[in-house]
Amino acid sequence: MHTAATGWQRLDRAAFGIIYGAIMVLSILIAAGHHPQPPFETAAVLFGSVFAITLAKAFAELMAHALDTGERMTRDAWKNAWRHSSPTLAVANLPTLFFIFAGLGWISADLASTLSQIVAVLLLAVLGVRVGWVIDGKLLPAILGGLFSGSVGLGLAILKHLIH
């Protein structure tokens, strides 16, 4: 029982980064177009872009903390900033892997793109369910939270198909 609570607590602490990362992945896929670059290049651009934004987020948190508190930037401050930012990068792992699989010829680039979008939308929906449950502890708010959050991701995925 304690393990499940720890898992939920980890998800709760990572929620900001997961949401940020999922929306970034969807946005990068929108920018990639209907026929993205070769799959290995798409994997590198996807992971590299999310990595750069994750570093920017960690650096911004570190600098803002120093300005807010007047404290020096210590090793612990760096660790805390990275711990808070790293879930953003973690979201890019599966989509990057899907495009690597496409580059190896194991799946199509279209399937890699679709699976990446599904992962991002599901992460948003799961977090929406979690928020609804944490706030009210009832099934209906949890479902509505999942529908709301999932629809944000789904809207971005639909926008990709409408634009391209």
Domain membership of residue 68 (yes or no) is yes
Total number of domains in the chain: 1
| Residue 8 located in a structural domain | no
Residue-range definition of the domain harbouring residue 69: 16-163
pTM score, whole prediction: 0.83
Closest CA to 8 of 160, 126, 145: 126
Q: Is residue 11 in some structural domain?
A: no
The per-residue pLDDT for 156 is 82
Q: How far apart are CA 55 and CA 160, in angstroms?
A: 26
Spell out the per-residue pLDDT of the chain, length 164, in tens.
455 557 778 877 888 888 889 999 999 998 887 666 899 999 999 999 999 999 998 898 888 888 888 888 888 888 888 888 888 899 999 999 999 999 999 999 999 999 999 999 999 999 888 888 888 888 888 888 888 888 788 778 777 767 76
| Residue reference for tokens 């090793």 | 75
The whole-number pLDDT of residue 35 equals 65
Residue 20 lies in a domain: yes
Whether 10 maps to a domain, the answer reads no
The DSSP code for 35 is S
pLDDT at position 161: 67
Give the type of residue at 138.
Answer: K
Which pLDDT score is estimated for 4? 56
